[in-house]
Amino acid sequence: MEFDPLREANEFRSQLASEKRRLAFLFGAGTSQSVGVEGLAGLTKAVGTDLKGDDRATYDALLGLDDTSNLETVLSRLRLCRELAGTNEDRKIDGVSGKHATILERRICRSIQERVGVEPPGGIVPHFTFAHWVKSLDRSFPVELFTTNYDILIERGFESAEAPYFDGFVGTVEPFFLITAVDSAATTLGYPPVPRNWLRLWKLHGSLNWRSRRDALTGVARIVRTSTAAPTTDEELIIYPSHQKYADSRRLPFLAYHDRLRHLVTSGETLLVVAGYSFSDQHLNEIIYQGLRSNNRLAVTALLFDKMSSEAVERNLLKPTLGSRNLTIYAPDGASVGGREGIWKEPKEAPPTPADNWPFWDTKTTHFTLGDFRQFVEFLRVFMGVRTPELPVSPVGTPEVAIAATSGAPVQSE
């Protein structure tokens, strides 16, 4: 079977513009990699080079426990060691004491903060453009954005565009996480805590600017949102969901955001657009796949950077969703629409002028390109009419938009 790129692009535009469904997005590491921020695979190697001595040996040992291990699985294992071994230096789990696990986890998180919390080589124009598009929407329900990224590129893009958003934190001096403000039930009974035209931003794996701190007056430990400065030696950077007991307050944001996603996909009429996500997080996958199975009013559109023919796409997405008619997949080399798979053919129409190119199609490679986040926001700009202010010229005389346009396309990684 063959799919016409122009027809599918127009259908996708119509779905994005429709007022009939709630609109939500799931952004993975590929959206940040598109502007040069390291993904999980690169970060796993880079953090290892930052560690020395016993820290490096322990990191490598935990990483080598199985073939699928990465930075996040190392963090999970360290937290499990800390929970089981406690503060007893003589008691060890996988050769790691609870004390060393605590110290090493914090050193790993500081390394992550230093490497991810940098100015992206490609700038933040794509995130800025996306923010302007969301800002222009007038919908009956708030737009919700879920992301697995630790960085704050989305927040920076929205603040540069002066587009309001809400992330579950309230306060001024040290904004703190308030679970009742995120609770799904509280936002569906007629009294949303914030205006509906504000984007809802839910960071499923935490953020570089989340810390675990004790209140100076009450002594109560809580999650606060701070600047992006590195955490102090006695602070914890709250990234990646902890596998500690449910009573641990550090899990509250992760639990609340995952519940929010589960509620969204299993009830009501919703369009979930997935971009930059490689479907390698099985916990998130199961939430999405359960929604596809149980809610026939859910439509999921996945914009893939990797090819349909890749082993990872076959294993993580195609096989688990076999027969799902409410899943649409757009990959560079093919598509799956209504449960039918096929390849791309040339668009039935040429662009308006010979100098133009369709923002979703590469004529040289004959690939569909919306899986590249930069191309996705260009599609929004051209097909959806996003208007953004003229961007300033950098000190070296190069507009930031040009930097973004010339940065190399990354390899997507969750």
Among candidate residues 43, 35, 33, 32, the one with its CA nearest the CA of residue 121: 35
Q: What is the pLDDT of residue 249?
A: 54
189 pLDDT higher than 70:
no
The least confident of 23-32, 234-243, 262-271 is 234-243
Q: What is the pLDDT of residue 191?
A: 54
Q: What is the pLDDT of residue 185?
A: 56
Going by C-beta distance under 8 Å and a sequence separation of 6 or more, which residues neighbour residue 146? 24, 25, 26, 27, 202, 204, 257, 260, 261
**Positive or negative torsion for Cα 347, 349, 352, 353:** positive
407 pLDDT tier (thresholds 50, 70, 90) = very low
349 pLDDT higher than 80:
yes
34 pLDDT higher than 50:
yes
292 pLDDT higher than 60:
yes
334 pLDDT tier (thresholds 50, 70, 90) = very high
What average pLDDT does this structure show over 266-281? 94
384 pLDDT higher than 60:
yes
397 pLDDT higher than 50:
no
Q: What is the pLDDT of residue 139?
A: 87
Q: What is the pLDDT of residue 408?
A: 36
Contact 3, 337 (CB under 8 A): yes
- CA 117, CA 234: separation in Å to the nearest integer? 20
What residues are paired with 274 via a beta bridge? 26, 302
Q: What is the pLDDT of residue 391?
A: 66
Contact 161, 134 (CB under 8 A): no
- Identify which has the larger pLDDT, 26 or 186: 26
396 pLDDT higher than 90:
no
The model's pLDDT over 107-151, given as tens digits with 9 standing for 90+, comes to 999 999 989 988 999 999 999 999 999 999 988 899 999 999 999
Q: What is the pLDDT of residue 382?
A: 87
What average pLDDT does this structure show over 262-266? 94
The least confident of 193-197, 217-221, 383-387 is 383-387
Q: What is the pLDDT of residue 383?
A: 83
**Positive or negative torsion for Cα 123, 127, 129, 135:** negative
* 156: phi then psi, degrees, rounded to nearest 5: -65, -40
- CA 114, CA 228: separation in Å to the nearest integer? 10
Going by C-beta distance under 8 Å and a sequence separation of 6 or more, which residues neighbour residue 158? 127, 131, 134, 164, 165, 199, 201
Q: What is the pLDDT of residue 47?
A: 95
Residue indicated by tokens 């990234």: 239
- Identify which has the larger pLDDT, 286 or 231: 286
- The DSSP bridge pattern shows strands 270-275 and 22-27 to be parallel
Q: What is the pLDDT of residue 247?
A: 44
Produce one character per residue of 28-37: b if its CB has 16 or more CB atoms within 10 Å, e if not.
bbbbbbbbbb
Residue indicated by tokens 């199985």: 66
404 pLDDT higher than 90:
no
What average pLDDT does this structure show over 150-157? 95
What residues are paired with 368 via a beta bridge? 361
Four-point Cα dihedral 261, 278, 241, 62, nearest 10 = 160
What average pLDDT does this structure show over 310-331? 94
335 pLDDT higher than 70:
yes
Q: What is the pLDDT of residue 250?
A: 57
The model's pLDDT over 56-73, given as tens digits with 9 standing for 90+, comes to 999 999 999 888 889 998
246 pLDDT higher than 80:
no
Mapped onto helix, strand or coil, the DSSP state of residue 23 is strand
412 pLDDT higher than 50:
no
Residue indicated by tokens 């930052």: 50
Q: What is the pLDDT of residue 354?
A: 62
405 pLDDT tier (thresholds 50, 70, 90) = very low
pTM summary value: 0.89
The least confident of 24-28, 97-101, 243-247, 371-375 is 243-247
The least confident of 158-172, 191-205, 277-291 is 191-205
- Identify which has the larger pLDDT, 82 or 143: 143
Q: What is the pLDDT of residue 169?
A: 93
The least confident of 247-261, 272-286, 391-405 is 391-405
403 pLDDT tier (thresholds 50, 70, 90) = very low
